[in-house]
Amino acid sequence: MYLIMLGAQGTGKGTVAGLLSKSTGWPQISTGDIFRANISEKTELGNKANEYISKGQLVPDEITVPMVIDRLAQDDCKNGAILDGFPRTVEQAKKLDEILSQKGKKVDMVINLTTPRDEIIERILNRRVCSNPQCKATYNLTMHPSKVEGICDNCGAKLVQREDDSDENAIKQRLAIYDEKTSPLIDFYTNKGVLITEEVSERINRLGKDVAEDVLKRIK
């Protein structure tokens, strides 16, 4: 089964995808994680991607799509995968349909997460992530802090703030790009009959774990 996490940055896509991956065994494929790994290793792909990410812009398809194709071709994806951060445009969604169709597969469910915009900005500014690439646990200074300040509960590695999470103007730019480029995917997948929308917000006391539990009930 192939799932897509859809929603603006800071809505909890990574959290929900991680919980679903742990329960189903399907790999969580995050283009953001792959970009960051390449950036830290200063690969050619990473350098090119960083030119866009540092400005709050989308990485072009000619960089992103081949990377996703390669990842989906790996053995652990043959029974399913959870895509987190791809597709971001209708063009990418159509390309993904082509990739899966060649394997006799399709997108089975798209989980669209929504969160009030002011909450999103606060969440991103307070987000901290584990520096251990094998762990990737995510925390929030106000909503979900680590037990020991600055230290990951899971592996003991240092928690860091992503460079693109520290600039409020860059965050607002990313959200504006989402509204322009990515939100049309809602119509695209609604027309295919595979989209479900879930709100994640402190205001209604509904967090990512609650959404993950509901999704698991749907796919079992």
Q: Where are the domains of the chain?
A: 2-116+167-219
- Our CA dihedral for 65, 71, 72, 75, rounded to 10 degrees, sits at 170
Is the pLDDT at 107 greater than 80, yes or no? yes
Give backbone dihedrals phi and psi of 87, rounded to 5 degrees, phi first: -80, 160
Confidence of residue 130 (pLDDT cuts 50, 70, 90): very high
Catalytic annotation present for 218:
no
Query: Considering only CA atoms, which of 43, 6, 49 is closest in space to residue 163?
Result: 49
- Looking at 123, 127, 128, 136, which residue is catalytic? 127
pLDDT at 133 (0 to 100): 81
Q: Indicate which residue of 22, 106, 162, 209 is catalytic.
A: 162
Catalytic residue, chosen from 13, 36, 71, 105, is: 13
Model pLDDT, residue 4: 96
Respond yes or no: is residue 209 known to be catalytic: no
* Through-space distance between the first and last CA atoms of the chain, rounded to whole angstroms: 11
pLDDT tens digit sequence for 182-204: 889 999 999 999 999 999 988 89
Active site residue 128: no
Verify whether residue 36 is a known catalytic residue.
Answer: no
- Indicate if 13 belongs to the active site: yes
Average confidence (pLDDT) over 161-171: 87
Share of the chain above pLDDT 70, in %: 100
Whether CATH 3.40.50.300 fits 2-116+167-219: yes
Give the C-alpha separation, 201 to 10, whole Å: 11
**What local confidence, expressed as pLDDT, does residue 59 receive?**
85
Q: How far is CA 52 from CA 32, 103, 194, 201, in A?
A: 12, 31, 31, 29
